[in-house]
Structure 1
Amino acid sequence: MLSEVRNTLGSVSAALPDADGERKAALEDFRRRLARTQTEIRPGDDDGLRAARDLCTTVRRYMGVAG
């Protein structure tokens, strides 16, 4: 799961330089949330893992990436 969060965070960071306006603001928010999730994720925390997976799915959908 941590690798999924890191990959999604990398995708967001890569998209930021080309973003503007509302999209840039949304991506910056996603980047902050993913970075926080990356430091808070714990292997035995089922709710936390589920929330991290849901966040990654939301971000990928927003970016138009299958997953």
Structure 2
Amino acid sequence: MQALDRKLALKQRDDSIDRLILLVADTKWNRGLLELHRDDLRARFPLDSRAVLSNLRAGRAPDSNGLLIL
């Protein structure tokens, strides 16, 4: 998880990305991993799937980074 966090932080910094949406497949393995690292992920991705999708449906960019589980 630390390697992923570093990679995403560098991408956001180097590419001047305002918002980052992490798309994760809805599998049992991924859900377990997300649960295990919930606090760390919330710090970087404060928006959950519902909030991200709500913004996108309304034609708006999310106001923060988000985690989208599909």
Q: Establish whether TM, by shorter chain, passes 0.5.
A: no
TM-score w.r.t. length of structure 2: 0.30
TM-score by length of 1: 0.31
Q: Which has more radius of gyration?
A: 2
The structure with the largest strand share of the pair is 2
Compare the two structures and name the one with the higher helix fraction. 1
